[in-house]
Structure 1
């Protein structure tokens, strides 16, 4: 059985996908204790470390075949801003160098790195790829909408396939049939509130009216930001990108509610029964930062098929 380690493991999207693909995850790390707690609950056979990976002791990490990593994306994402000189964003971008450090010490055969597509626009991306190549790795970028891999969510991400090969390894990622948001939305459950009430933003009310005109009395819509513009989304298509904050609202007649934490995990393709915090906010934060497990599984399966 191939083995792997998971950097910036979060709730365990990469690890869950790897397990489904027949990979044993030996070691996982994250700097946030709550993420480590729940990754441990879902992957009790994995060795866990809670630390800033800038200070990692790679000699204490078990040897492995595959390195899985999702460095912090907030400093690259359009949703959070990317300006240089912002200490928080510059620090988050620097997490990608932990991948280079791990590769330098262990030299696994393959590394899979997931991030937002804007990662490739980072001013230091050429230096980062040069460092990876100096270690003997080829870099093959794949920009993928996770909906095309069977995840019930439109989520465009960059998957970098790093291999110790003569040429970059481009994977054959077969396009799957899209899975509708209706597959996990529960319009009968949850806590609903009146659409028209004191404090409701005019933009929200306008989205509701526009959504009704297009989709009738039952649909989903972005509660803030640009999302799907000033209207809703048909539940027969995948939901839009799950973020770390409450973004999607369900509309049913004259009532509405926000997407539940369990629905968000389902939208990310986490299996039913995935253990999570009772805190809605903490779960949404980890869900929005995760690799969709099914996407991770499909990428690994394509990697094995190409080997």
Structure 2
């Protein structure tokens, strides 16, 4: 099987598909940084850096499968109040339709946040895929069910040129705690009690200690497990593009570091990332968890 990866980003879709025996022959994204590091990790593929609304689909090499992760920021509730630029982000999903119209791939797998199906134009998008001969089966998948130490629910639309939608019965693997990827003896720690530490942070840490003991994780910003923290024996909450999760170890704390985020996303430990922390976490937080894709592709092969 040969695949193209639209909105390739951090390369999780490609990495997971390769582990399932799929050859990645082309990858495209509008971000020079994303394309650079996708090319570093997947040098065998042709890489294009451009707005995929303007892509020349005739130039793509022969392939059987389209993998696509259209921009999710316009769909997620985390975006806050809806803004005009969210329309542009949501409309990236139409590139999937235009590519499928030309190439008529047998299999198209689209990943996005679960609220993608609440998009006002989702019925029209679905109708367009149906008009091209695709039966579409939505699957909501939590990465934690596939051996990733992170609770990360995402929507995967399995689009096949078949009479009926392909509904999969995916394996569910045992959950893995985030503590398995934390590098306890590495990186720079700071005292929990230090001048100017936020009272909200101290209150959160005190609550976490009462519940979990000396070692646990907690969001440093935002909501979620914000008032209680989270046990290191269970998957962490969703990794985002921002530096959000803190690790508490006794009287010291620090933020989750890129090598740990690699593990929390299910990427190989030797995966190439930008040297700057902010860029590395941004790419990882935008990525698809590779083990989910591997299980998905393997199950599709069995069902086909």
Q: Normalization by structure 2: what TM-score?
A: 0.98
SS state at 2:72 partner: coil
Cα deviation code 1:72-91 (max 9, x no counterpart): 101111112362xx222111
Which residue is equivalent to 1:13? 12
Mapping for residues 1-307 of structure 1, pairs under 5 Å? 2-81=1-80, 83=82, 86-307=83-304
Query: How far apart, in 1, do the equivalents of 2:95 and 2:254 lie?
Result: 40
* Cα deviation code 1:28-79 (max 9, x no counterpart): 0010001101000000101000000010000001121110000010111111
Structure 1 contact 153–240 (Cα < 8 Å) conserved: yes
CA contact (8 A) 1:187 1:250 kept: no
Give the whole-Å Cα distance in 2 for the aligned partners of 1:201 and 1:130: 50
Query: Which whole-Å CA distance do the structure 2 matches of 1:82 and 1:173 have between them?
Result: 35
TM-score computed with the length of structure 1 as normaliser: 0.97
User: 1:160-192: per-residue Cα shift (whole Å, max 9, x none)?
Assistant: 000000001001111111111111011211111
**Gap regions ≥5 residues in structure 1:** none
Judge conservation of contact 1:113–1:160 (CA < 8 Å) in 2: yes
What is the deviation of 1:118? Answer: 0.3
Report the number of matched residues. Answer: 304
Q: Please tell me the root mean square deviation across aligned C-alpha atoms, in Å.
A: 0.9
Taking the aligned partners of 1:82 and 1:120, their CA distance within structure 2 comes to: 18
Separation of aligned partners in 2, 1:29 and 1:209: 46
CA contact (8 A) 1:17 1:293 kept: yes
C-alpha distance in structure 1 between counterparts of 2:80 and 2:295, whole Å: 30
CA distance in 1, matches of 2:276, 2:38: 15
Secondary structure at the counterpart of residue 77 of structure 2: coil
CA distance in 1, matches of 2:118, 2:226: 25
Question: 1:198 and 1:8 mapped to 2: Cα distance?
Answer: 43
Q: Where does the alignment leave 5 or more consecutive residues of structure 2 unmatched?
A: none
